[in-house]
């Protein structure tokens, strides 16, 4: 740890000299070298972010501060990108002495990275709001979402009552699911609802596994645990690999939900493959799963997709 801290200090002081040397020898600034040399997606965008965060140039710091303020105001959306990003990019071009006519590939590449970086930061705030919002039985919208979850997962068996042991069929602990949402708030319900509505075949497939007489588990409770896992991976930045490698999308709540759905499907697959003796093995298998996902996310080239496999167990 001491060696690591010492090396970090050395890097901090050597960085300007290294950048100056590479600029002189390549005639490209660090941002250009990243945009031209790094793989599109997480590798490029994470390195762009690191470069901007470590910059000691006053104008670059001001651009970063401005974009952060836009995120705080929840204005970093596609409809505002032109007015927000054009001035910011122009400042970077001027400060870094980049001629956009000579380097026409730089601007679109750099713009995409900025869109991803600050969409991710805004997403963290939006997800935090959902997590802090507690399920409220007196809120009609909350109640409708909960009842919709049941209808999607168990379409042929209407609930007999709002508070009933029937909720345990889809993996809640007691007669009223609201108590299970305390840790992750409304985010836990939104994740489950997205999984059931957007991936009906997959969620039905996973629910059937959770009802297995030997390898069964509590579907909803496991889902809320996976919400917690996805939330912390988002917060610590690990989920950037997933978000930045999703070529057609920018980081958003929908993309977070898709990440969650991937985690649920993959955990279910590992659980069944592990053939646990009983539910007491949950902590060990869950930790094994978490470690495997973190290892995958540590590789900036990783791409995550739900690959449905129909099985019989």
Residue-wise pLDDT tens digits, 122-134? 999 999 999 999 9
Evaluate if residue 174 carries a pLDDT over 60.
yes
Mean pLDDT on 4-28: 57
pLDDT above 90 for 241: yes
DSSP SS3 for 313: coil
Residue 10 scores a pLDDT above 60: no
Looking at residue 162, the DSSP 8-state letter turns out to be S
Given this model, what pLDDT does residue 97 score? Answer: 94
What is the model's pTM?
0.90
Please, what sign has the CA dihedral across residues 7, 13, 17, 22?
positive
Contact 42, 113 (CB under 8 A): no
Residue 101 dihedral angles phi and psi, to the nearest 5°:
-75, -35
Mean pLDDT of the chain: 92
Percentage of the chain with pLDDT > 70?
Answer: 89
- Which residues fall within 8 angstroms of residue 217, CB to CB, at 6 or more apart? 171, 210, 271, 279, 282
Q: What is the pLDDT of residue 248?
A: 85
Q: Which burial class, exposed, middle or buried, applies to 52 when counting CB atoms under 10 A from its CB (0-12, 13-18, 19+)?
A: buried
- The rounded distance, in Å, linking the Cα atoms of 23 and 33 is 9
pLDDT at 236 over 60: yes
Q: Which segments of 38-184 does DSSP mark as H helices, in order?
A: 42-54, 58-72, 81-95, 106-132, 140-153
**pLDDT computed for residue 1 by the predictor:** 56
Q: What confidence score (pLDDT) does residue 305 get?
A: 82
- For the cut 70, the answer to whether the pLDDT of residue 2 exceeds it is no
C-alpha to C-alpha distance for 195 and 209, rounded to whole angstroms: 15
Domain ranges of the chain: 2-131, 136-297
From the CB of residue 267, how many other CB atoms can be counted at a distance below 10 Å?
23
Q: What is the pLDDT of residue 13?
A: 55
Q: Is residue 111 classed exposed, middle or buried when 0-12, 13-18 and 19+ CB atoms within 10 A define those classes?
A: middle
Distance CA 292, CA 272 (A): 16
When pLDDT is averaged across residues 61-77 and rounded to a whole number, the result is 97
Distance (Å, whole) CA 176 – CA 259 = 27
Task: Give residue 309's pLDDT.
Answer: 61
* Residue bearing tokens 């470690």: 291
Using alpha carbons, select from 121, 115, 110, 124 the residue that is nearest to residue 44. 110
Place of tokens 């988002």: 234
What is the model's pLDDT at position 28?
83
Cα-Cα-Cα-Cα dihedral sign, residues 239, 240, 245, 247? positive
Over 60: is that where the pLDDT of 234 sits?
yes
Residues 85 and 115 sit within 8 Å (Cβ to Cβ): yes
Among 293, 302, 235, 298, smallest CA distance to 264 is for 293
pLDDT over 90 (residue 108): yes
């Amino acid at each position: 740890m001491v060696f690591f801290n010492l090396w970090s200090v050395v890097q901090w002081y050597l960085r300007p000299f290294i950048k100056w040397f590479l600029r002189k020898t390549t005639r490209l600034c660090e941002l250009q070298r990243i945009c031209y040399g790094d793989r599109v997606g997480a590798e490029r965008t994470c390195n762009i972010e690191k470069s901007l965060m470590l910059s000691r140039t006053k104008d670059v710091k001001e651009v970063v501060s401005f974009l952060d303020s836009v995120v705080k105001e929840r204005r970093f959306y596609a409809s505002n990108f032109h007015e927000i990003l054009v001035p910011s990019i122009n400042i970077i071009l001027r400060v870094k002495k980049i001629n956009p006519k000579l380097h026409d590939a730089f601007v679109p590449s750099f713009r995409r990275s900025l869109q991803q970086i600050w969409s991710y930061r805004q997403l963290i705030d939006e997800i935090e709001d959902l997590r802090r919002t507690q399920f409220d039985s007196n809120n009609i919208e909350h109640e409708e979402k909960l009842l919709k979850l049941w209808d999607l997962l168990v379409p042929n068996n209407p609930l007999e009552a709002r508070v009933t042991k029937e909720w345990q069929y889809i993996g809640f602990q007691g007669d009223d699911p609201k108590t299970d949402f305390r840790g992750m708030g409304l985010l836990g319900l939104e994740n489950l609802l997205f999984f059931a509505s957007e991936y009906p075949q997959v969620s039905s497939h996973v629910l059937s596994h959770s009802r297995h007489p030997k390898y069964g588990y509590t579907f909803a409770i496991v889902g809320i645990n996976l919400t917690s896992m996805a939330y912390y991976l988002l917060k610590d930045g690990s989920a950037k690999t997933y978000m930045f490698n999703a070529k057609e999308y920018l980081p958003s709540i929908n993309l977070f939900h898709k990440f969650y759905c991937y985690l649920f499907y993959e955990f279910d697959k590992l659980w069944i493959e592990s053939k646990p003796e009983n539910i007491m093995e949950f902590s060990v298998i869950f930790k094994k799963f978490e470690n495997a996902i973190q290892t995958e996310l540590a590789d900036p080239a990783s791409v995550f997709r739900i690959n449905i496999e129909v099985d019989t167990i």
